Chains A and B, each alone.
Chain A
């Protein structure tokens, strides 16, 4: 019952261009475990999550580049991130997120 992946599959069937973000590593407290998914379409629609909500906006923005270029990206977020106030993890954890085009 990977609900987010089922959503991804439905979006592909609708002909949408989409990217899949997957939590590949976490340190410290992180609300979404490794293997968590966020699916994003080119119009800014998204489903699922890779965090408690703190880094989603940044992942969605980067996903748009991944959808157009087709090149996967490995993103890292944490309190030490220079944009901590913008997209840092309030919980104090660190996560790495792999973003790739799906389809």
Chain B
């Protein structure tokens, strides 16, 4: 790999631009194809498109030998609504598995730099904040504020997007009430199945850290099942 290629790959990751790196395994020039610049007439357009869709890299056989298509998709993101104790652990776990965390909480007493070092903290209402960041299919939204006004607003934005994961903290009972409120606000019931509530895999979590672990595990499960489809 050329130094310039490595630089372009890292830069694209920084800018959240998807690309596929084409490497002929028998030797020869490598090539970068950006998602937005994929030419329909590219000789390998179909498998490259599939790489962008699934995020999976693969070898293809061609007349000139084997070619490796390596997908570099933007890092998945998790929007953590609620700058809470669970949120603090979730930030650390997400980082370890290379999911980029962003904290959103309009309560400035919670969303402080002291409580959340080295992570983007947006002390705004989730409606505005999520619109500004932009939710795409590489995003997860987790509502942990446990304040209906805050969580509901984020859920509304998440339901209108094609984010791959939506979760909301709370018991089955509070989840049922939440769905009633969302319905009253005019959100389509058809999307409610997308919300994981109670949030997280059922591993018997008790402490905030254990709950954070169950949430991040559920996010990984959904992230990988999209790729496996």
Contact = CB atoms under 8 A, between A and B. Distances in A.
Interface in B47-79: 56-59, 68, 70-72, 75
A1 B13 contact: yes
Contacts of A74: 25
Contact of B68 (A6, A8, A12, A24): A24
A3 interface: yes
B201 to A, nearest CB: 21
A6 B7 CA distance: 9
Interface of A: 1-3, 5-6, 8-9, 12, 20, 22, 24-25, 34-35, 71-72, 74, 98, 100, 102-103
Contact of B70 (A6, A8, A35): A35
Q: By DSSP majority rule, is chain B's interface helix, strand, loop, or mixed?
A: mixed
Contacts of A25: 58-59
B176 interface: no
Given A35-B71, A98-B68, 14 more contacts: A2-B9, A2-B72, A3-B98, A9-B7, A9-B10, A24-B25, A25-B58, A25-B59, A34-B56, A34-B58, A98-B25, A100-B1, A102-B6, A103-B2
A15 B68 CA distance: 28
B191 interface: no
A19 B75 CA distance: 24
A55 B33 CA distance: 31
A98 B28 CA distance: 14
B27 interface: yes
A95 B25 CA distance: 15
> A-B pairs with the 9 shortest C-beta distances?
A35-B57, A1-B98, A1-B75, A103-B3, A34-B57, A24-B68, A102-B1, A25-B59, A74-B25
Interface in B1-38: 1-3, 6-7, 9-10, 13, 23, 25, 27
A24 B67 CA distance: 10
